[in-house]
Amino acid sequence: MLTIYHNPRCSKSRDTLALIEAAGIEPEVVLYLETPPDAKTLQTLLSKLGIGARDLLRKGEDAYKENNLKNPELTDAQLIDFMVQHPKLIERPIVVKGDSAVLGRPPENVKALL
């Protein structure tokens, strides 16, 4: 079973979903802007991705700049809290299969899970 944290307005997210569906897989689609993940879910996703919270941030978002999230003194827990409050900060798409996950940037990354 695959799960995709998806933003239908994002071309990379749409392309990643199309690759999954082209492989004959009907994933669970989580519209994370409508139903944002909580801190525990984000921690689990980061663990599966094998990255830190800073690596999951969209640095071009207004909320990133307005909250000075480039500050190196912010902890992963603090950054996760900001992502919970402002889900637009979460890089997308995230595709999960079991204990593994990949970022669909580029969309071809998802092939590792198919």
Q: Minimal CA–CA distance to 5: which of 53, 43, 55, 42? A: 42
Single out the catalytic residue among 3, 10, 14, 76: 10
The residues near 64 (Cβ < 8 Å, ≥ 6 apart) are 57, 58, 70, 89
- 96 touches 48 (CB < 8 A): yes
**The pairing of beta strand 94-97 with beta strand 2-6:** antiparallel
Is 50 noted as a catalytic residue in this protein?
Answer: no
Catalytic residue numbers read 10
